[in-house]
Structures are given as C-alpha cells and as structure tokens.
C-alpha cells in the first residue's frame, strides 16, 4: 500500500493551478494494473495523443519511447478514449479495484 504524504496547506486567497490541485489528491497504489499499454503499438503511433490529454502526466517520452506511471492517475480515462479514436488503441483502462486509486480532496 502506497500513501502520498499530506500536502502543505494551500493559501485559500489565491486560485490553485492544475498541478497544485492534483497535488492535493491522495492516491493508493494497487499492484494489480488498471491501465495497460501495448508499447509496441505505441511505437507505430505518430500522434501519441495520450501525451497531451492526461492532466496528471501519466505518459511521457523517454528516449523516443512511451513510458507511463499509473501512480497519481486521477482516473479521467481520456487517455484510452483519445488512444482509441486518434491513436492506435494501445491503452486499455479501467477503474482500479475498490479502495485503490485516487481520493479527491478539496474539490
């Protein structure tokens, strides 16, 4: 079980950035994957829309290859949708098992 440390208190007088809002969420890591990616298919994808749609930055390029880390995923599911319709349908996404995944805090 992986729990993120408590975030620092936010200044309520100023609006938060997306990164600051995501940083307030808790994530309990599940060893059973809820996102699987066929990286061989990703190599042939020219558009790689998952890089641009994920606000949690789960996906990134490393030496030209797509790599991903599900810790911190906010379970939007947009990655699988854009991959299916604009990419090459290499991402398969489902909700994590009960009590695992993201816990939204502070709206």
pTM: 0.71
State residue 20's pLDDT score. Answer: 81
Could you give all domains of the chain from N- to C-terminal order, each with its CATH number?
18-103 (3.30.70.20)
> What are the pLDDT digits (tens) for 47-71?
999 999 998 899 999 998 899 988 8
State residue 92's pLDDT score. Answer: 95
State residue 41's pLDDT score. Answer: 94
State residue 67's pLDDT score. Answer: 92
SS (H, E, C) 11-39: CCCCCCCHHHHHHHCEEECCCCCCEEECH
Average pLDDT over every residue of 3-8: 59
If 0-12 CB within 10 Å is exposed, 13-18 middle and 19+ buried, where does residue 93 land?
Answer: buried
Scanning 1-107, the segments in alpha helix (DSSP H) are 18-24, 39-43, 50-53, 78-85
State residue 8's pLDDT score. Answer: 60
Please determine, for residue 1, whether its predicted confidence score (pLDDT) is greater than 60. Answer: no
């Amino acid at each position: 079980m992986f729990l993120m440390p408590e975030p620092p208190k936010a200044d309520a007088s100023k609006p938060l950035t997306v990164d600051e809002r995501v940083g307030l969420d808790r994530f309990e890591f599940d060893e059973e994957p809820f996102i699987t990616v066929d990286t061989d298919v990703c190599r042939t994808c020219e558009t790689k829309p998952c890089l641009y749609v994920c606000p949690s930055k789960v996906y990134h390029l490393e030496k030209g290859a797509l790599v991903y880390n599900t810790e911190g995923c906010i379970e939007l599911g947009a990655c699988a949708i854009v991959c299916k319709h604009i990419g090459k349908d290499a991402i398969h996404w489902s909700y994590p098992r009960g009590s695992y995944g993201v816990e939204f805090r502070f709206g």
